Amino acid sequence: MTTLAQKIIANACKKSDVGPGEVVVCKVDLAMIHDSGGPRRVKPILEKLNRKVWDAEKVVVVTDHYVPIESEETRAIHELTKKWVLNQDIQNFYDQQGICHVVVPEKGHLKPGMFCVGGDSHSPTGGAFGAYMFGIGATEMAGVLATGEIWLKVPKTIFIKWKGKLNNLVTAKDMMLATCRKIGMGGGQYQAIQYIGEAIYDLSVQDRMTLSNMAAELGAQTGLIAPDDKTIDYIKSSGGLVPENWKSFRLDEPTSDASVNEFDASTLSPQIAAPHSPENSENADEFANTVFDVAYIGACTGAKYVDLAAAASVLKGRKIASGISLKVAPASLKDEKQAFEDGILKILQDAGAEFLPNSCGICAGYGKDRLAEGQVCLSSTARNFQGRMGAPTSEVYLASPYTVAASAVVGKMTDPRKLMVN
């Protein structure tokens, strides 16, 4: 039996089938780059090769890391990016509209069966749309931009199955932190992960994006979810074109020799991961009364519309505790506008939130709001590596937007269910 990963790869390399371990050369359907690792890195390489991008319509460029512009250096990076995009005749350019992993799908660029690369480690987010998408470095990206191709060693697929239904205030982020604890940061190294099970298909598309995104935390190359009607509805609403054969990619049964890790969503509690790894996860109760300075709702993993709505449902009619700074950086301008129209931003503002730009920001250790020496942050981001979000002596704990918001109200880390029953 062919897995979803194998089917997409076989299509990309024009073969009837491929098997794990086989080395193939694939045609790329879409290449995404951003301001940090994009034009300023690939431009010199392409100039040495005397090549332009192989197909401007298949390249997407997003400025999201050095946002807002805060220095002459970052201004120069933005100017270089804009000039390069113009020179290459690239129309799919999204300037300061949000984080690339959220902007690319919301602009309708992803669909089932696509084979895509991204110049960022969290590019597996595309797997939520039944697309094989993975991150590569600048040198490999330059090769893709010059030729439209990339070689690949066909990975084995590891299935992560979530049966049952999630309880109230338990989210996709909690599912991923629990997965990181069980499998470990290298548990899916260089493999394709595919999420299956009732609890997966109950999730909204934006929640599924959290799962695919954090496949990177497991060391996986990609994090696939077979498409269903929710996937197609999202693509259509984003103005994307749905392939007529999309149902042929609804492959979610493990092969006979597949590795399957099973979880029960009905028994899952809200999670918190301690510094300095997502695998340092335990039930939120284990961190009861742990103090922190900054509550951060941001990043591609934790500040999409569904995440902002989750935080607002906790903060409505409440105020954050004295001594806590709540910073909110909506993942995209589109999600921010929708949250504004729906009254969600007003709820967050009334609770005491400070709003930051639609960018990677603190998550990437950029900007004036990066963590200072000794600060402790409870964050909805994907990673809590030492020094990633600021000073090396700062500490970052990971949790869902529900848990971050509830803890900001209490003033100490807490299981959000305890706040919501009061």
- Count Cα atoms within 13 angstroms, Cβ side, for 301: 32
**CATH class given for the domain over 271-420:** alpha beta
pLDDT tens readout for residues 113-169:
999 999 999 999 999 999 999 999 999 999 999 999 999 999 999 999 999 999 999
Return the pLDDT at 184.
87
Return the pLDDT at 421.
76
Average pLDDT over residues 310-321: 98
Q: 68 Cβ partners below 8 Å, 6+ apart? A: 96, 357, 359, 367
Please check whether residue 227 is in contact with residue 129, taking contact to mean a CB–CB distance below 8 angstroms.
yes
Return the pLDDT at 193.
97
Name the band, by pLDDT with cuts 50, 70 and 90, for residue 303: very high
Residue type, 350: D
Average pLDDT over residues 321-326: 97
The overall average pLDDT reported for the chain is: 96
On the question of pLDDT at 367 being above 80, the answer is yes
On the question of pLDDT at 422 being above 80, the answer is no
4-264 under CATH 3.30.499.10, yes or no = yes
Q: Using DSSP bridges, classify how beta strands 376-379 and 294-297 pair: parallel, antiparallel or unpaired.
A: parallel
Give the DSSP H/E element, type plus range, for residue 39. Answer: helix 39-49
| DSSP string computed for 239-299 | TPPPPTTGGGG---PPPTT-EEEEEEGGG---EEE-TT-TTSEEEGGGGTT---SEEEE-H
Q: How far, in Å, are 44, 132, 266, 297 from residue 222 at the CA level? A: 28, 7, 26, 25
Token pair for residue 297? 């709702």
Return the pLDDT at 255.
83
Please check whether residue 127 is in contact with residue 212, taking contact to mean a CB–CB distance below 8 angstroms.
yes
Name the band, by pLDDT with cuts 50, 70 and 90, for residue 1: low
pLDDT tens readout for residues 45-69:
999 999 999 999 999 999 999 999 9
Return the pLDDT at 83.
98
Return the pLDDT at 186.
78
Range list for CATH 3.30.499.10 in the chain: 4-264, 271-420
Average pLDDT over residues 232-252: 96
On the question of pLDDT at 416 being above 70, the answer is yes
pLDDT tens readout for residues 187-226:
777 899 999 999 999 999 999 999 999 999 999 999 999 9
